């Protein structure tokens, strides 16, 4: 009698692995969009110094993760979508960071003028 179960289970596991990789790549393709959602959610739920840390560091982490997904993912032509999203995300950061820095300086100076501790 021929045992065909090991080959069927191997094929099933390989198919499952390819599907999981595909799902992870699809999630990674839209990392800039996920990053914006996470940044907004964390900034709304935190306060004080933690909020400022999230507002400054989370966009940089999002860019690094996006670059890693685009570098190591096997997207072929679909990688252009992720590349375009990342391009617009970085252009948005060029506008976001100067405004955030000005806002942080104002928030840091205002309490000091009243004699309070900043942030």
Residue position matching structure tokens 């400054």 = 56
Provide DSSP, 2-40: ---HHHHHHHHHHHHHHHHHHHHHHHHHTHHHHHHHHHH
pLDDT computed for residue 119 by the predictor: 57
pLDDT at residue 10, as a whole number:
77
- Rounded to whole angstroms, how far apart are CA atoms 11 and 111? 64
pLDDT at 113: 59
Between CA 101 and CA 117 the distance in angstroms is 19
pLDDT at 69: 85
For the chain, the C-alpha Rg in angstroms (whole number) is 22
Is the model's pLDDT at 108 over the cut of 90?
A: no
Mean pLDDT confidence for 79-104? 91
- Band (pLDDT 50/70/90 cuts) for residue 28 is confident
- Max Cα–Cα distance, the chain, nearest Å: 88
pLDDT score for 50: 92
This model's pTM is above 0.75: no
Tell me what the mean pLDDT of segment 65-75 comes to. Answer: 83
Q: Where are the domains of the chain?
A: 28-113
Confidence (pLDDT) at 61: 94
Per residue, the 3-state secondary structure of 56-73, as one string, reads: HHHHHHHHHHHHHHHHHC
């Amino acid at each position: 009698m021929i045992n065909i179960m090991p080959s069927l289970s191997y094929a099933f596991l390989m198919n499952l692995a390819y599907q999981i990789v595909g799902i992870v790549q699809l999630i990674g393709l839209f990392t800039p969009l996920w990053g914006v959602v996470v940044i907004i959610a964390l900034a709304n739920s935190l306060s004080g110094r933690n909020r400022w840390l999230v507002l400054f560091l989370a966009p940089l982490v999002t860019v690094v993760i996006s670059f890693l997904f685009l570098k190591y993912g096997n997207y072929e032509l679909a990688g252009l979508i992720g590349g375009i999203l990342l391009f617009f995300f970085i252009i948005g950061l060029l506008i976001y960071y100067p405004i955030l820095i000005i806002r942080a300086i104002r928030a840091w100076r205002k309490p000091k003028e009243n004699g309070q501790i900043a942030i």
